Amino acid sequence: MWNIPQSMPDLHGYFGAYGGRFVPETLIGALDELEGLYREAQSDDSFQRALEDMLRTYAGRPTPLTRADRLARHLKKQRVYLKREDLCHTGAHKINNTIGQILLAQRSGKSRVIAETGAGQHGVATATVAARMGLSCDVYMGEEDMERQKLNVRRMEMLGARVLPVRSGTRTLKDATSEAIRDWVTNVRDTFYIIGSVVGPHPYPMIVRDFQSVIGLEVREQMLRAEGRDPDLLIACVGGGSNAIGLFAPFLQSSATMIGIEAAGLGLESGHHAATLTRGLPGILHGSRSYLLQDDDGQVQLAHSISAGLDYPGVGPEHSALKDAGRVTYDSVTDDEALAGARLLARLEGIIPALETAHAIAYLEKMSPDIADDALIVVNVSGRGDKDMTTYARP
Ligand SMILES: *Cc1c(COP(=O)(O)O)cnc(C)c1O
């Protein structure tokens, strides 16, 4: 039905024209080893049992699919549902992936894990599972982000992780990721790199997608039970793209409409935004080919979003392919629209969402006139808003 392959990526790690492995020679062996480890784990019942058990008894899965009747009435729609990743342990979907990867790390026999983090949510989720498994953990974080997200720095430290400040470049997520890759190149023998979104060299975009697909698989089951059919419309915010692909992947062959929402920051024309798919061009960053915010000379541009979790100039290669194929639509909302979206959900449903999630809520309200009244709508609530309260409380 759709002009996309049944299974992506291909054997070389490409999603259409995107993905691949653009890394130093020393990492090729490590990436091959990781892919082998992952393929083995996929067909190993004991691994799958350990994964399911940890998702259920530690992360709190399955998360609810909440019917949002006051929001639906406000939008003049019959049915709106919220997938509640905000109720996961540590407060966001990130833990789904770190649980999967820490089990791979354990299987690899390596004693140390590293991660990059922007807002600190992935860093916290990694420090959490590293503590649980008794592995040592170093997290790279830009100095600027450490300042903006002090609470998450304290959480990581309390969990026993070392937070390594990154002082290069803009001192944000892009630079932290470069530093983590550099560490991995140097210490690849004893170190497992837990990447936080569907980005990086193959096989990471595939592995992270698969671990996050638990979101969409649960939605399919929960929706069948509640409504007896698949949803018509799925909406999720897109930073690197992991919560969005986690919701979308199980429905790619269905007839559902899917929309990924990027951060338009101060506005698409302002030059201060993070709308990579809406405004970027194909290029190479952090080991793979994908849409990228870049200037005319191909230099990576600064991203801006009020939400630190969306403030990244790249995006996952699979989203790039889905955009080109026309299977998923990508659009964006501004900082101000997102703030209004967060307030709307808080007042109507008693749920304070993460600023990232607020972008998806804001878009639903904005596009509401174009949606059929009887559409079955699902919005992914990727995380809770505690970390964003200082921003929300600003007059
Ligand atoms: C990290 C984060 C995001 C953005 O990352 P994706 O990989 O695009 O999902 C979105 N929402 C929350 C709550 C996050 O913590």
| Of residues 90, 87, 82, the one with CA closest to residue 117 | 90
The predicted pLDDT at position 309 comes to: 87
Q: pLDDT (tens digit, 9 = 90+) per residue, 150-202?
A: 999 999 999 999 999 999 998 999 999 999 999 999 999 999 999 999 999 99
354 lines ligand 1 (CB under 6 A): yes
Is residue 94 annotated as a catalytic residue, yes or no?
Answer: yes
DSSP string, 309-323: GG--SB--HHHHHHH
> How many A from CA of 25 to the centre of ligand 1?
30
The predicted pLDDT at position 1 comes to: 46
* Contact (CB, 8 A) for 353 and 381: yes
356 lines ligand 1 (CB under 6 A): yes
Angle at 382 between CA 380 and CA 383, to 5 degrees: 140
Say which of 77, 83, 85, 116 is annotated catalytic.
116
Establish whether the linkage from the previous residue to 395 is cis, with ω within 30° of 0: no
Closest residue (by CA) to atom 14 of ligand 1?
Answer: 309
* Contact (CB, 8 A) for 167 and 87: no
Bridging pattern class, strands 79-84 and 65-67: antiparallel
92 lines ligand 1 (CB under 6 A): yes
Residues paired with 163 in a beta bridge = 139
> How many A from CA of 237 to the centre of ligand 1?
7
121 lines ligand 1 (CB under 6 A): yes
Task: Say how many Å lie between the first and final Cα of the chain, rounded.
Answer: 49
Q: Which of 84, 87, 93 to mutate to test the pocket of ligand 1 (most atoms within 8 A of CB)?
A: 93
The predicted pLDDT at position 148 comes to: 83
Q: Which of 86, 207, 382 to mutate to test the pocket of ligand 1 (most atoms within 8 A of CB)?
A: 382
Residue type, 71: L
238 lines ligand 1 (CB under 6 A): yes
The predicted pLDDT at position 394 comes to: 87
Is residue 382 annotated as a catalytic residue, yes or no?
Answer: yes
> How many A from CA of 309 to the centre of ligand 1?
5
The predicted pLDDT at position 308 comes to: 85
Closest residue (by CA) to atom 13 of ligand 1?
Answer: 383
Helix (H, G, I), strand (E, B) or coil at 122: helix
Q: Nearest 10 degrees: CA dihedral of 123, 124, 127, 129?
A: -120
Tell me the residue length of the chain: 395
Weakly modelled stretches of the chain, pLDDT under 50 = 1-2
> How many A from CA of 119 to the centre of ligand 1?
9
237 lines ligand 1 (CB under 6 A): yes
Closest residue (by CA) to atom 7 of ligand 1?
Answer: 242
- 58-74: string of b/e by CB count within 10 Å (b at 16+)? ebebbbebbebeebbeb
> How many A from CA of 163 to the centre of ligand 1?
20
* Contact (CB, 8 A) for 382 and 92: yes
Closest ligand 1 atom number to CA of residue 92: 13
> How many A from CA of 382 to the centre of ligand 1?
6
Closest ligand 1 atom number to CA of residue 212: 9
Q: Which of 101, 121, 306, 357 to mutate to test the pocket of ligand 1 (most atoms within 8 A of CB)?
A: 121
What is the spatial distance between Cα 129 and Cα 120, in angstroms, rounded to a whole number?
A: 14
Is residue 77 annotated as a catalytic residue, yes or no?
Answer: no
* Contact (CB, 8 A) for 41 and 104: yes
